[in-house]
Amino acid sequence: MQAYFEKLQAELMEVNPNLTADEALWWVEMLWSDFEASYAKAGYPYRGEEYASDYVAKQIKQHGASLHLVERKDRN
Protein backbone atom coordinates (compact mmCIF):
# COMPACT_ATOMS: atom_id res chain seq x y z
CA MET A 1 0.00 0.00 0.00
CA GLN A 2 2.88 2.34 0.76
CA ALA A 3 4.02 2.20 -2.87
CA TYR A 4 0.55 3.34 -3.97
CA PHE A 5 0.61 6.17 -1.44
CA GLU A 6 4.01 7.39 -2.60
CA LYS A 7 2.96 7.33 -6.27
CA LEU A 8 -0.28 9.18 -5.54
CA GLN A 9 1.52 11.67 -3.32
CA ALA A 10 3.91 12.47 -6.17
CA GLU A 11 0.99 12.86 -8.59
CA LEU A 12 -0.79 15.23 -6.23
CA MET A 13 2.33 17.32 -5.66
CA GLU A 14 2.79 17.58 -9.42
CA VAL A 15 -0.80 18.77 -9.90
CA ASN A 16 -0.72 21.06 -6.86
CA PRO A 17 2.69 22.58 -6.03
CA ASN A 18 1.06 24.54 -3.19
CA LEU A 19 1.00 21.41 -1.02
CA THR A 20 3.91 20.19 1.06
CA ALA A 21 4.86 16.52 0.94
CA ASP A 22 3.16 15.95 4.30
CA GLU A 23 -0.03 17.70 3.19
CA ALA A 24 -0.13 15.74 -0.06
CA LEU A 25 0.31 12.47 1.82
CA TRP A 26 -2.43 13.47 4.26
CA TRP A 27 -4.82 14.11 1.36
CA VAL A 28 -3.97 10.79 -0.29
CA GLU A 29 -4.51 8.88 2.95
CA MET A 30 -7.75 10.73 3.64
CA LEU A 31 -9.16 10.16 0.15
CA TRP A 32 -8.15 6.49 0.30
CA SER A 33 -9.68 5.80 3.71
CA ASP A 34 -12.84 7.76 2.86
CA PHE A 35 -13.28 5.74 -0.32
CA GLU A 36 -12.80 2.42 1.47
CA ALA A 37 -15.20 3.36 4.27
CA SER A 38 -17.89 4.61 1.89
CA TYR A 39 -17.52 1.57 -0.34
CA ALA A 40 -17.84 -0.77 2.65
CA LYS A 41 -20.86 1.10 4.06
CA ALA A 42 -22.57 0.71 0.70
CA GLY A 43 -22.12 -3.04 1.04
CA TYR A 44 -19.77 -3.52 -1.89
CA PRO A 45 -17.09 -6.21 -1.67
CA TYR A 46 -13.51 -5.01 -1.29
CA ARG A 47 -11.90 -4.90 -4.74
CA GLY A 48 -8.30 -4.36 -3.68
CA GLU A 49 -5.67 -1.69 -3.42
CA GLU A 50 -5.39 -1.15 -7.17
CA TYR A 51 -9.08 -0.24 -7.37
CA ALA A 52 -8.75 2.21 -4.47
CA SER A 53 -5.63 3.67 -6.06
CA ASP A 54 -7.47 4.25 -9.34
CA TYR A 55 -10.26 6.05 -7.48
CA VAL A 56 -7.84 8.33 -5.62
CA ALA A 57 -5.94 9.05 -8.85
CA LYS A 58 -9.20 10.16 -10.48
CA GLN A 59 -9.96 12.44 -7.53
CA ILE A 60 -6.48 13.95 -7.80
CA LYS A 61 -6.98 14.66 -11.50
CA GLN A 62 -10.39 16.24 -10.90
CA HIS A 63 -9.81 18.14 -7.67
CA GLY A 64 -6.11 17.99 -6.83
CA ALA A 65 -5.23 21.45 -8.11
CA SER A 66 -7.59 23.09 -5.61
CA LEU A 67 -7.11 20.93 -2.51
CA HIS A 68 -4.85 23.55 -0.93
CA LEU A 69 -7.90 25.82 -0.75
CA VAL A 70 -9.85 23.42 1.44
CA GLU A 71 -9.75 24.40 5.08
CA ARG A 72 -8.94 21.42 7.27
CA LYS A 73 -10.52 21.09 10.66
CA ASP A 74 -8.44 18.87 12.89
CA ARG A 75 -10.37 16.82 15.39
CA ASN A 76 -9.50 17.46 18.99
Q: Are 56 and 31 in contact (CB under 8 A)?
A: yes
Domain ranges of the chain: 1-58
The answer to whether the beta carbons of residues 8 and 30 sit under 8 Å apart is: no
pLDDT in tens, 48-64: 999 999 999 999 999 99
Q: Is the pLDDT of residue 74 over 90?
A: no
The structure's pTM equals: 0.90
pLDDT tens digits, 13-52:
999 999 999 999 999 999 999 999 999 999 999 899 999 9
Please give the Cα distance from 49 to 62 (Å, whole number).
20
The letter for the amino acid at 54 is D
Non-local (6+) Cβ contacts of 8 within 8 A are: 28, 32, 53, 56, 57, 60
Supply the pLDDT for residue 75: 59
Give 4-13 pLDDT, tens digit per residue: 999 999 999 9
